[in-house]
Amino acid sequence: METYDSMLARISAAPGQGSRTILDPATGEPVGEAPVHTVDDLEHAIAAAAAAQPAWAALGHDARSAALLKAADAVERSAEELAQLLSREQGKPLNGPNARFEVGACAAWLRAAATTPLAPEMVVDDGETRAVLDYRPIGVVGAIGPWNWPMMITIWQIAPALRMGNAVVVKPSQNTPLSVLALAAVINDELPEGLLSVVSSGRDVGARLAEHPAIGKVMFTGSTAAGKSIIKSSAGTIKRLTLELGGNDAGIVLPDADPKAIAEGLFWGAFINTGQTCAALKRLYVHDDIYDGVCEELTKVAAAMPMGVGLDEANVLGPLQNRQQYDIVARLVEAARDSGARILLGGNPDPGQPGNFYPTTLVADIDNSNPLVAEEQFGPALPIIRYSTVDEAIRMANGVDVGLGASIWSPNLTAAREVAARLEAGTVWINTHGAVDPRIPFGGAKQSGYGLEFGVEGLKALGIPQVING
């Protein structure tokens, strides 16, 4: 097992056209040097992946799965070093559902991808016609990831791709390249050379990856605007796509819910990773009968959650990863304040504090058309909107052009499921929000993207269906 310093030295020494300094969003201090790759570097990575892929595919599912299980073991051996790096680069604390949690999820998803069964499907066998559906590798997959969960979402992309016999070229966010480079370095100790590469670069390389004729599929997690650009870039070669795009997830609290019982679940649904999660709860609709009670109990929970530098073991909330996102959150909260909305907690950042810290903020008595409600804030600010009838809440929840996730909160599961079925979202949780499971398919509706990840459906999405008829 290598040390934190040796891991950082290994990824900083990766070949590239120079390097750039990555800063800690909590302190502004240097974390390390990220290599700067070019389109030529991308071409070399794709060529190496294309050369390594046929032999990897020929190994078959059992051998590939065994390699992924070894990769999961390797991640666990380096878990603390990876979590320390992730905390410093992304900003999330070590504890809570944050850095150590994310690294643990990487190992869990590797194992799930390795052990999920996928047998050929007998479609017809009636004595006259025999048709079998199976999946063959795509070839080289391009994986473009975000800065909010850089390690975990990279694993969501590469683990099923590798299991299905593909090679992968990863393009991480420019904000968090070190985390992804380190994770890949650990995994590559268990994989054939050239099969998995990381190209740390800017948008020009990402655009080339999306249009490259040797890339058979692109997996992307990020904004809806960037997803639309990838669709356009990929059209010339008819690439397969899995797109997990922006969300503005609604939660609906039904009038029979107990405010105190659900307050902590609501908090973590909204503020996991300091609100920087695509499928976080971003709009909370609460019935008039219990509105004040939910506001009171949620404020108590939120006020008790410590925010600060991620390496401090006491903290469970961290900074926003970059200043651009900080400015978005600050603008939206100010728009809410200017409209006359009631600030229950937060909304008062300290301009003299180092780092991108925006305080945990709860905003009540806000109109549904307010920008803090209508736009995705992607940070630690939650608007709480009143409603009078369930039909009204459903109308407001469905009134945006995205639909990644949603949630219903009620002790009456039958009623909650009936409301859930009326929401326009890829996943609707009941009495929780944002919980993902490697066995359960996950994907968005409307402009939150298309394609499924996780489970059997996620494996199928990384293969080309082939029917043998006869």
Chain segment 241-292, per-residue pLDDT in tens? 999 998 999 999 999 999 999 999 999 999 999 999 999 999 999 999 999 9
Cβ contact 255:291 at 8 Å? no
Which pLDDT tens digit goes with each residue over 162-177? Answer: 999 999 999 999 999 9
**Range from 18-22, 154-158, 440-444 carrying the lowest mean pLDDT:** 18-22
Question: 249-430, what's its fold?
Answer: Aldehyde Dehydrogenase; Chain A, domain 2 (3.40.309)
DSSP 146-163: -SSSHHHHHHHHHHHHHH
Active site residue 313: no
Dihedral over Cα of 210, 215, 216, 218: its sign: negative
Beta bridge partners of 144: 171, 220
Is residue 73 within 8 Å of 227, Cβ to Cβ? Answer: no
CATH code assigned to 4-245+448-469:
3.40.605.10
- pTM of the predicted protein model: 0.96
Query: How far apart, in whole angstroms, are the C-alpha atoms of residue 117 and residue 265?
Result: 33
What residue type is assigned to position 415 of the chain?
A
340 token code pair: 């006359």
Q: From CA 34, how far away is CA 38, in angstroms rounded?
A: 13
Question: For residue 1, what pLDDT band results from cuts at 50, 70 and 90?
Answer: low
Catalytic residue among 76, 89, 244, 453: 244
What's residue 13's pLDDT?
66
Closest CA to 269 of 287, 244, 294: 294
Q: Is the pLDDT of residue 16 over 80?
A: no
Which is nearest to 291 in space by CA: 255, 263, 265?
Answer: 255
As a residue count, the chain comes to 470
Question: How large is the average pLDDT for residues 37-56?
Answer: 97
d(CA 7, CA 3): 6
| pLDDT surpasses 80 at 342 | yes
User: Domain segments of the chain: what residues?
Assistant: 4-245+448-469, 249-430
Point out the catalytic residue in the list 81, 102, 190, 278.
Answer: 278
pLDDT band per the 50, 70, 90 thresholds, residue 144:
very high
3-state helix, strand, coil in the chain (%, to 5): 40, 20, 35
Q: Is 278 a catalytic residue?
A: yes
Distance CA 350, CA 331 (A): 15
Q: How far apart are CA 18 and CA 39, in angstroms?
A: 14
pLDDT at 10: 82
Looking at the DSSP assignment, which residues form a beta bridge with residue 258?
none
